[in-house]
Amino acid sequence: MVRRNKGRVALCFPGQLQRVPKEISEKHGGEDILPHPFFQKSREKIGFHLPSFCFQCEEENHSLNLKLQVASYLLSMVSFDRYQREGGRWDLITEHSMGIYAALAAAGAMTFEDGLELVKGIGLLLEEMGGERPGEMATVIGLGREEMEEICKDVDDDLYVANLNGSRHFVISGKATSVDRGMELALKKGAISAQRLTFKTPLHSPLMVPIKRKVRQLLKGFRISVPHTRLVSHWEGRPLSDPDKIREFLVEELCRPVDWEGSVRSLLAQGVTCFVEVGPSDTLTKLIRWIDRDVEVVSYGAKDVL
């Protein structure tokens, strides 16, 4: 459903899925066709067939995170395209983590096709790094920021707070053994839950620094333009407009934490009265409601448009 909110509207593009939304497979019953040309383009350009991926057992799937990254981008762009066609409005665009690529395409800073190929290229680099320097990530819910930072200090072996998603919702990133220890300490300190994510790389931490050179080299093959729509980053809502600075952001954001709460609070201070999550899930919708229960939040997801 397209909203006609009278205040400022921010479109939000979420990060990588952790699993294929079951609504898609249930809705299509295992059919081989999904009704949008973006899916055909993805098959033609990078050989990715979303229906096949949706209807197989993920646990047995090779290159799971790479395919989840591509699926996340595709479903976000399909949702955005339908939102736009139905007359939905927005004043600015923001993003969370790997959602930056869909946000760039939606803001007109790159084409859909370039965004698709770039997502695959980044995914391959992350997959390669995961084989050479494996790491893990985990969500922790129920503790405060100071407690999470203290846990990382107590582990004292390459463990970092990677996502500040809300006042009591965090992601930790680091070596596998360090993440395990961090989860254990979090639960002992009273965390409601601590769950490992699918990632096999320590995203949004200093451990990603070795990948920076290859990411810069990859980006040389893609054109990035000034966004047509105001685009703000997950670094406390800082604007992204200069193409060279966007390129550097795409390199540096892999090594720095996502401050989603800071971004949301910055946008609220700038007069945003409605957030519309455009993508395959309602993850950001829930996080925004945790941050501010009074602001209007809408999830315009793939399950609504396929």
Which pLDDT band, with edges at 50, 70 and 90, does 41 fall under?
confident
Residue 54 near residue 20, CB atoms below 8 Å: yes
Average pLDDT (114-128) is 94
For 136-196, CATH number out of 3.30.390.10, 3.40.50.720, 3.40.50.740, 3.30.70.250 equals 3.30.70.250
Position 31 scores a pLDDT of 47
Residues of the chain with CATH 3.30.70.250: 136-196
- Residue tagged 């950001």 (tokens): 284
Give ranges for CATH 3.40.366.10 in the chain.
Answer: 8-132+205-305
Cα 162 versus chain centre, distance: 13
Structure confidence by residue, pLDDT tens digits, 238-280: 999 999 999 999 999 999 999 999 999 999 999 999 999 998 8
Averaged pLDDT, 205-224: 96
> Per the structure block, which two tokens stand in for 137?
């990530």
Q: Which two tokens stand for residue 214?
A: 């290859």
| Superfamily for the 8-132+205-305 domain | Malonyl-Coenzyme A Acyl Carrier Protein, domain 2 (3.40.366.10)
Return the pLDDT at 1.
45
State how far the Cα of 54 lies from the Cα of 47, in Å rounded to an integer: 15
Task: Return the pLDDT at 54.
Answer: 63
8-state DSSP, 209: G
Give the pLDDT of residue 265. 95
Q: What was the pLDDT predicted at 44?
A: 78
pLDDT in tens, 130-187: 888 889 999 999 999 999 999 999 998 899 999 999 989 999 999 999 999 999 999 9
Tens of pLDDT, residues 60-91: 456 788 888 988 999 999 999 999 999 999 99
Residue type, 227: P
Q: For residue 47, what is the DSSP state? A: -
Which residues lie closer than 8 Å to 79 by C-beta, 6 or more apart? 278, 279, 280, 300, 301, 302, 304, 305
Task: Tell me the pLDDT tens digit for each residue of 125-146.
Answer: 999 998 888 899 999 999 999 9
Average confidence score pLDDT of the chain: 88
